[in-house]
Structure 1
């Protein structure tokens, strides 16, 4: 999420909104957002309904949920999806911004 924070202004300037969904409770999210000063939306999903809906994978040997990044347009259509194989497998911001510009 720190990576997204670094280029938040570029995402906002492109008309995109960043929403981070995680399996934690509202209190955990609120504490983490306050501590890290994230400028984007955090959506707690303790029942993992949203995470399961979008197919975020769980791998117990890799310590839980793997990263998933999606670009969803204003009509709700997924225009880009990346499901990471590890916690380090996250596309660079420039790749996401290129997709946004192409929309």
Structure 2
């Protein structure tokens, strides 16, 4: 997430709100956000409600949630989903920014 924090202004230039959702509880999430000075909102999702809503995959073998990136437009329509197969299978910020330009 460090790279996303550094590139956040590029997303703002495209009038794009970045929101991170994670499995941690509220206290752990708030602590991480404060310690890392995250410029975008984060949503704790320890009960997996958001993850389930968007069908984010969980792999017990890989110890938890697999990465997922979604682009949702202002009307609430999902325009793009990438479900990663591992923590290495995450599109770069540049790939997501290019995708935003194509929508």
Stretches of structure 2 that go unaligned for 5 or more consecutive residues are: none
Stretches of structure 1 that go unaligned for 5 or more consecutive residues are: none
2:79 is the alignment partner of 1:52: no
TM score, norm. by length of structure 2: 0.95
**Structure 1 residue runs of 4+, over 4 Å off?**
none
Work out the CA distance in 2 between the residues paired with 1:90 and 1:17. Answer: 18
Work out the CA distance in 1 between the residues paired with 2:68 and 2:17. Answer: 16
Aligned length: 103
2:20 is the alignment partner of 1:15: no
Work out the CA distance in 2 between the residues paired with 1:79 and 1:17. Answer: 14
SS in 2 for 1:71: strand
How far off its partner does 1:3 sit?
2.3
Listed one character per residue, the Cα deviations across residues 19-46 of structure 1 (whole Å, up to 9, x for unaligned) are: 0011111111100001111111000112
2:54 is the alignment partner of 1:65: no
Q: Which has the higher contact order (CA 8 A, sep 6+)?
A: 1
How far off its partner does 1:94 sit?
1.2
| Alignment correspondent of 2:84 | 84
Q: Give the alignment's Cα RMSD to 1 decimal.
A: 0.9
How far off its partner does 1:98 sit?
1.2
Work out the CA distance in 2 between the residues paired with 1:40 and 1:15. Answer: 13
Work out the CA distance in 1 between the residues paired with 2:68 and 2:54. Answer: 9
TM score, norm. by length of structure 1: 0.95
SS in 1 for 2:61: helix
SS in 2 for 1:47: coil
